[in-house]
Amino acid sequence: MNYKLSSNITLALVLSSVSNTSVLASQPIALDLYTQEFPPLQFMLDGKPQGYVIEFVTALVQDASKTIPLEIKQIHFAPWNRAIKTTIETENTLFFSVSRTPEREDKFQWIGQVSPYKVGLYRLASSPQVSAKNLEELKGYRFGSQVGSSFSELLATNGLDQVIPVEKGKEAIRLLHTHRVDFAPMVEASFHYRMQEYGYDPHEFVKVMNVTPLCQDLWLVTGNHTSASVVEALRNSYSKLQQQAYLDKLVAEFTPTSDIMLRYSESKANPR
């Protein structure tokens, strides 16, 4: 092989290598998004992910992709434990919407708050009117509470032992509706939709008080394996969208009387 031919081959290999590197560098980082159904924040309707947090996170990734190549690979609705485990163990996985607690602090990189989260204590509208500012004022009353829930732990901490344990939140509402308990906790954001899904009229229930210790904003997070550059881009875009009050605008579009939420309610309505 002569020198000229050898040089041409070497040059071709170098150019090919540079070209391949350029292609790889231009490929966007694929993000997997994990969540659970929680209307109106995130839910499935007509086979598509919907909700104000879904739309906000989508816009967040799109804006961040102007800084670093990013794209959403897939949005997964998965059981809580699997979603948590996958986010912790896998890079470029985002999870929402989750409360920020001391136990979780070091397990995730916290990108931003995506929704308020309020837990209210409810009674039947037809029951005697009761007013209270805290749980301690409700000693002697009966509660329905999901086994192992934060609310059950809170009741025990406050010395409230007249509790009927249930496996699902729906069962606590059934106990409340049949006067077997006096109070049951419900998440305000999804209250309207859950009542319709369970077959009850939301107006049959009245909120007595906020369960303040359980009221925290929900967050968008990623695991510690996700690179600092991706996290920084997402956080910067989060700040930008917050300055534009974009999340507030989305929340206003997903009220119980909005077309999309009326369609969701209709799709979930089941006989009691």
Q: To which H or E segment does residue 263 belong?
A: helix 259-268
Predicted local distance difference test score (pLDDT) of residue 265: 87
Q: Tell whether 71 and 100 lie within a shared domain.
A: yes
Rounded to whole angstroms, the Cα distance separating 178 from 34 reads: 36
Q: Tell whether 84 and 105 lie within a shared domain.
A: yes
Q: Tell whether 223 and 207 lie within a shared domain.
A: no
**Residue 13 domain flag:** no
* 93 neighbors 223 (Cβ within 8 angstroms): yes
**Residue 2 domain flag:** no
Count how many domains the chain has. 2
The parent domain of residue 109 ranges over 30-116+216-269
Predicted local distance difference test score (pLDDT) of residue 23: 39
**Residue 264 domain flag:** yes
21 Cβ contact list (under 8 Å, min separation 6): none
Q: What is the pTM of this model?
A: 0.77
* 118 neighbors 188 (Cβ within 8 angstroms): yes
Pairing of strands 108-115, 218-223: antiparallel
Q: Tell whether 123 and 200 lie within a shared domain.
A: yes
**Residue 94 domain flag:** yes
* 141 neighbors 183 (Cβ within 8 angstroms): yes
DSSP secondary structure string for all residues of 157-197: HTT---EEEESSHHHHHHHHHTTS-SBEEEEHHHHHHHHHH
Q: Tell whether 223 and 89 lie within a shared domain.
A: yes
Q: Which two tokens stand for residue 177?
A: 């509706």
CATH no. for residue 157? 3.40.190.10
Predicted local distance difference test score (pLDDT) of residue 48: 97
**Residue 5 domain flag:** no
Predicted local distance difference test score (pLDDT) of residue 169: 86
**Residue 24 domain flag:** no
Rounded to whole angstroms, the Cα distance separating 217 from 93 reads: 20
**Residue 76 domain flag:** yes
Q: What is the chain's pLDDT, residue by residue, as a tens digit (272 residues)?
A: 554 545 555 545 544 444 444 434 569 999 999 999 999 999 999 999 999 999 999 999 999 999 999 999 999 999 888 999 999 999 999 999 998 888 889 999 999 999 999 999 999 999 999 989 999 999 999 999 998 788 998 999 899 999 999 988 899 999 999 999 999 999 998 998 989 888 899 999 999 999 999 999 999 999 999 999 999 999 999 999 999 999 999 999 999 899 999 999 888 775 44
Q: Tell whether 181 and 46 lie within a shared domain.
A: no
Q: Tell whether 201 and 248 lie within a shared domain.
A: no
**Residue 18 domain flag:** no
Predicted local distance difference test score (pLDDT) of residue 4: 52
